[in-house]
Amino acid sequence: MSLEELLAFASRNLLLSIALAGLTAAIVWVEVSRLFRGYKGLRPGELSALVNREDALVVDLSPINDYQAGHIAGSKSVQPSQFDPESKLLAKAKALPVVVVCRTGMSANSAARRLVKAGFERVYVLEGGIQAWRQADLPLVKGRG
């Protein structure tokens, strides 16, 4: 397809062309913002390796009932309303990798930004949250932890 044919198609299908340009811009924006957010996303297998290799602290922001129904072994339950980067639990882990986990991976991003702002250098988020952990057939522990 030549450039002339592409331009002719775009002029005949203006709404489609605008939608394509908008989607492309949104994808580029998301990917660029990921580069500068200050923390990294981990897949479930990468989280397992990080915990085993470097004794990472896993902070679970799930509601307490969800946490007790199933959480990653060794994770610490912290309610989002009580999440504080300066708390005793987190302050003593500033030198360690800290991984923030929630049910779907959405709430963890906000907490990770707070950790980065508080000076934590090795901050991670479990992409997809506990749902992704389950889908990877990795074990969960029940109870208080």
Residues belonging to the active site: 102
Q: 22 — phi, psi (to 5°)? A: -65, -45
Query: CA 5, CA 34: separation in Å to the nearest integer?
Result: 35
Residue bearing tokens 């959480």: 71
For residues 86 and 61, is the Cβ–Cβ distance under 8 A?
Answer: no
Of 48, 41, 34, 55, residue with least CA distance to 125: 41
For residues 77 and 64, is the Cβ–Cβ distance under 8 A?
Answer: yes
